[in-house]
Structure 1
Amino acid sequence: MDSTQSEPAGEPPDTNMERRSALRNRLLEWVKVDGDRLFLTIGISVGVFVLILVLNSIGAVAFTNDNSVTRMASGMIAGTFSLVTLVVSVNQLILSQEFSPASEHRNRFSGVMEFRRDLEEQTGVSTAPVEPTRVVEVLAEAIGDRASELSDSVANSTDEEFRQQVTQYAKSVEDSTKWIDEAFDQSDVEAFDALSVAVEYADGWQIHVARRLRNDASELTDETAATFDELIDTIRLFSTAQEHLKTVYLQRELAKFSQLTIYCGIPAVLSSISIALLYGDIGGATISTRFLPYVTSLLVTIVLVPLVLLAVFILRTATVTRRTSTVGPLLLQRPSNEKSVQVTINDTD
């Protein structure tokens, strides 16, 4: 019998590591952006409740010291009131953006209508769609068409290197627009998905590479130059749509956060008061020690719900704002290779 043993069949270690890394990245992306904020809040709150019970069962925490619990309850009351006050201030900031005189409102409305007319002109649709997902889809399709036209316009170019670079660039742009179509090819696509997909699109980098290829070309026909300009204008319109969707989303998201915090803030304050009253008797807690850990853990969890809401909502709004903080071709996430025409750059920080 041969003494050497064959390697077990299966995937290479590098493939397993890449799969685990991809799974971890998808999980982080779901927590930061894609996951439902209410579902995430409920899940974290349930986890906090279970964690407190586990810590109590192993003796790490206890609910028998009346003075410690009442001091904690007093701090919770003060903290909850401070959080609610902060949320009210945020809500006032949102409302201040909504109140505007007639002249300012007319300017904002005119800007939106001008954007819709530009969208109709660039994409060839008779009437610009009103659904955010359809706006992104229509623009992505137009960008893909412009990229295909750009590739065709350099097919007879005598500059081999320039033709290869433009063809590679056009194919990369087309692939990125196909990715958008695949992302929307679902029955449960919601309005936020439009912004989530638009944020991931490397529009600034595509504009940068297109301008570099156009400006550095040794020879450029009028047809190719015009196609470059049309592609850049369409991608720029996509950037405008991205910014508009982000502004509308942030206003609605922060308003929803304020509303939910008020809903949860009142039970949180009442729970804090209940904890203080629960241990307010001279002889100790007013309920049996058998049920005391469960009741106290539940009340503490309810008190922490507004804080969890703050964390999950601000995490998503901050992530979206960070990813769209630049205007135009400006790459802050990582060093760029100016000689490369690779445009499929996504950053999930």
Structure 2
Amino acid sequence: MHQRAGASQLKIKILLEVNRWVIVGGLAASIFVTLVLVGTFGPAPIPVLLQYQDPIDTLFQGLVSGVITGVTLILTINQLVLSQELDPIGTQRERMKGALSFRQDLEDATALAVSPAQPSTFLRALIEAIRRKAITLEDAMDTGIDGDMRDEIEDTVDGITDNAEEAQEQLTDSQFGTFNVLGAALGFNYSRKVHDLRRLRNLHSDSLPDEVNERLNDLLEVIKFFGPAREHIKTLYFRWELIDLSRAILYAAIPSLTTTFLMILFYNPREIPGEILGVPNTLWLVSLAVAITILPFLILLSYILRIATVAKRTLAIGPFVLRTTDRNEEIEWEDDFE
């Protein structure tokens, strides 16, 4: 996935893979350290300002308004997410029919006895079915195919099998609710594979043996299931993340609001004398209070970064490749086009 993302591995890990609480802790620590450093070495007389109560009151009164507004916004988002689960029985029945119909079609196309119930195992079974269909296509190319066409098909098959093995390895022992399941789905580049298979079928079907054409169509039909499956897993993951986000912000709002109230009501710089490591105790206290107060915003930022990144990488369904690539695609016409 890192190679296809067009970004550094560190950036992808931070945006997608690192635990969100680690991101929150890192951001809070960075803000705390920055405030202490700027207050100690900056040109502005911060320690002098901290001796007066009015600037601190003004700061934390603004933070109180921001925290309350943010929590209200998250509650609204949570209600929107929950409202999608409160459909009438007819709509719920249609959803059930659609889910069962998709599973039945997949089982018919892949010879699965019963499609797995767990999302990670379901994706692993689908990817394994795609890999097996690709191998059967390669096995059918024993005779009747010239060198260039054989190389093109083999390159396509090798790309599918290699990518499938990587995704299956990532899905092993992965549990839904973590990013590993969706990360493996993002790493399987089905859009390019659908395009390459359709290109082979549409441009070379007349020159391919019947058995190869049949295996090619079988592979294409199976790989088409991956798009809707990935989008469904993504939708479930987004709902899961938004619910976790709502709970995390509500939990963080309690110490955040408590800290702001304490600073507004009881902060008195004259009662906090002394220094630690050459830094006034008032600066330590105010910096720590600010870092705690903005925890709800940092939690929101960390979750939205991942959700927005995933949404951007999965905007299109089907054979569209939206990211920047080094492949210059040429327009190809049928031979009888005039």
TM-score (norm 1): 0.83
1:323 paired with 2:308, answer: no
**Which residue of the other structure, out of 243, 265, 269, is the alignment partner of 2:257?**
269
Tell whether the 8 Å contact from 2:167 to 2:187 is kept in structure 1 after alignment. no
Q: Summarize deviations over 1:66-125 as a string: whole Å, max 9, x none.
A: 222211111111111111111111111101111100010011111111222233223323
SS in 2 for 1:98: coil
Query: Given residue 203 of structure 2, which amino acid in structure 1 is its aligned partner?
Result: D
CA distance in 2, matches of 1:26, 1:190: 23
1:259 paired with 2:247, answer: yes
1:149-168 alignment, distance < 5 Å: 149-168=136-155
1:144 paired with 2:131, answer: yes
CA RMSD of aligned residues (A): 2.1
CA distance in 1, matches of 2:209, 2:145: 11
CA distance in 1, matches of 2:30, 2:175: 28
1:210-289 alignment, distance < 5 Å: 210-217=197-204, 218-279=206-267, 284-288=269-273
Query: Given residue 257 of structure 2, which amino acid in structure 1 is its aligned partner?
Result: V
Deviation larger for 60-69 or 216-225: 60-69
**Which residue of the other structure, out of 6, 27, 33, is the alignment partner of 1:44?**
27
Count of aligned pairs between the two proteins: 313
**Which residue of the other structure, out of 44, 62, 79, is the alignment partner of 1:92?**
79
SS in 1 for 2:225: helix
Q: Report the equivalent of 1:190.
A: 175
Deviation larger for 331-340 or 49-58: 331-340
CA distance in 2, matches of 1:47, 1:132: 37
Q: Summarize deviations over 1:275-295 as a string: whole Å, max 9, x none.
A: 22234x6xx554335432222
Tell whether the 8 Å contact from 2:63 to 2:293 is kept in structure 1 after alignment. yes
Q: Summarize deviations over 1:245-264 as a string: whole Å, max 9, x none.
A: 10000001001101111111
TM-score (norm 2): 0.86
Structure 1 gaps, min length 5: 1-21, 341-349
CA distance in 2, matches of 1:228, 1:285: 80
SS in 2 for 1:300: helix
Change (3 A) 1:36 1:78: same
1:332 paired with 2:315, answer: no
Structure 2 gaps, min length 5: 276-280, 332-338
1:26 paired with 2:31, answer: no
Change (3 A) 1:253 1:285: farther
1:292 paired with 2:282, answer: yes
CA distance in 2, matches of 1:49, 1:110: 53
How far apart are residue 307 of structure 1 and its match?
0.9
CA distance in 2, matches of 1:64, 1:229: 76
Query: Given residue 34 of structure 2, which amino acid in structure 1 is its aligned partner?
Result: L
Tell whether the 8 Å contact from 1:147 to 1:174 is kept in structure 2 after alignment. yes
How far apart are residue 201 of structure 1 and its match?
1.4
Runs of 4 or more, structure 1, over 4 Å off, are: none
Tell whether the 8 Å contact from 1:122 to 1:142 is kept in structure 2 after alignment. no
